[in-house]
Amino acid sequence: FNMTNWGFICVVILLSLYSETQGLTHSRFQVKNHGYSTDPKPQFKEKYFPQIMDHFNFNIMGNGTYEQRYLITDQYWKRGSGPIFFYTGNEGDIWEFALNSGFITELAAEQRALVIFAEHRYYGKSLPFGQDSFNIPEVGLLTVEQALADYAIMITELKQQLGASACPVIVFGGSYGGMLSVYMRLRYPNIVAGALAASAPILSTAGMGESKQFFQDVTSDFENYAPECRDAVRGAFQRLQDLAQMEDYGHIQSAFSLCKTPSSYEDIHQLNGLLRNAFTLMAMLDYPYSTHFMGSMPANPVKVACDTMLGGADLLHALKDTAGIVYNSTGDLTCFDLYTLYVECADPTGCGLGFNSLAWDYQACTEIEMCYESNNVSDMFPPMPFTEKHREQYCSKRWGVIPRPGWLKTQFWGDALSTASNIIFSNGDLDPWANGGVRRSLSSSLIAINISEGAHHLDLREANDADPASVIKARKMESDTIAQWVKMEKER
């Protein structure tokens, strides 16, 4: 996610987290140290900001507010003059991003910056209507424009409260968060001096490009490791299709250790989606070390997947074991439940599970366009079309909305970015989202950085001994450019 596919977290756990939110005592700035972080640095404090619910309508909500969560650390900050590094939170719990974006705090230590990670409205604990947030029409205040206005108001007010009016603001974001960072620089250049947009597919999510590109690029990751890996995956899916056509559902249930025997075309479609999603995640998160972001992944998961596919005597069992890298990393599951491990939605790359997935599904039904499809010709997956018509039918039924193709391009410029400035577009060649973003520099201040050995926003992660040279070089370029932007802003 999706660009974010937020984890394979048990829905029960998410529900309990949600109910915990309802018990908050509201105050202007609640502080709560994060209980499960064992890393002594950075020492984030969790706070809540009273945010306007509807920035663009003075009648319906009046000046009503909700509690927007953010994390802050000033341990590196040169108070009053050091820059502010602000992460534009995306589709998930803000702690998930803060604990997986160590480059920002490493850079803050270098450049003596204040660091803020802001949670996106309708995600994590930032629910404007509490338990009713995903009802219709309450969910209607979930838009890109409202989220950007949240960040603009938060930055402005916190600068005033912290005596930081002279401190330049640089925004950071990865994936959808990177898109938001670009949009902040476009929409609020009076507030934001520059933006680092890591793995931000601002073109493909605005309806630009080909629908086959994404799953073609997922396939390329496995093909580049070993062409026979691609062939094995394609062969396994074909074997599954053959069994489905014969309605040999018992064989399928046994081969994939399914909790229930499939009994319909819909069940097989769901199984294909679940399996395709596993390969999507492994391609996105193909880091050179093990991670616990959007689920648990081994080091080099594409290699692990291909070795599993090519090492099995039976293609179907090999495909099941490969999907287990994602869905059963602990080995604790005795069977796969098709409809709880994966939920089909308006984002063919996956929405994840729990409340965050509801929010992302709604966004994919409104402003974020992701009509990506597999075809078994340019990719290794079964044909799974997802056209504008499919999207419209699904979104009308699920949310009562009709998507407006082209709106994001109209609002945020599409590829007509030449009059913008001070944006870094970083992309990793291993990331299937990369070709949906900006891959070449557009001017001296619209800088594209391509990371040959990088997966999804690897450059935002903290330094690691296993980092490839290309990401070390990219971070140095980003650091130098940001320092230059800060200097220029102070001299203005």
Q: Which residues are catalytic?
A: 175, 431, 456
In this structure, are residues 443 and 421 in contact, taking their beta carbons and an 8 Å threshold? yes
What is the distance between the alpha carbons of residues 276 and 117, in angstroms, rounded to a whole number? 32
Name 301's Cβ contacts closer than 8 Å, sequence gap at least 6.
Answer: 282, 285, 286, 287, 325
Angle at 412 between CA 411 and CA 417, to 5 degrees: 140
What is the distance between the alpha carbons of residues 98 and 214, in angstroms, rounded to a whole number? 27
Length of the chain: 492
Give the number of other Cβ atoms within 10 Å of residue 354's Cβ: 23
Name 492's Cβ contacts closer than 8 Å, sequence gap at least 6.
Answer: none
Side by side, which strands form the sheet with 169-174? 32-33, 45-52, 65-73, 114-118, 84-88, 169-174, 194-198, 423-428, 446-451
Residue the block writes with tokens 């048990």: 10
What is the distance between the alpha carbons of residues 98 and 104, in angstroms, rounded to a whole number? 9
Phi, psi of 169 (to 5 degrees): -110, 125
- Using CA of residue 300, residue 464, residue 470, residue 460, what is the dihedral sign? positive
Continuous segment of H or E residues that includes residue 174:
strand 169-174
Phi-psi region of 350 (alpha: psi -120 to 50; beta: other; left: phi over 0): left
DSSP 13: H
Kindly state the tokens that stand for 13.
């756990």
Most distant pair of Cα atoms in the chain: their distance: 72
Q: Where are the beta strands (DSSP E) in 396-464?
A: 423-428, 446-451
CA proximity to 298, closest of 101, 466, 105: 466
C-alpha 196, offset from chain centre? 15
What is each CA distance from 36 to 26, 30, 32, 126, 317, in whole angstroms? 23, 18, 12, 20, 37
Kindly state the tokens that stand for 257.
């250790």
- The DSSP bridge partners found for residue 170 are 85, 194
Residue 327 half-sphere exposure toward CB, CA atoms < 13 A: 30
In this structure, are residues 21 and 48 in contact, taking their beta carbons and an 8 Å threshold? no
Angle at 13 between CA 7 and CA 16, to 5 degrees: 135
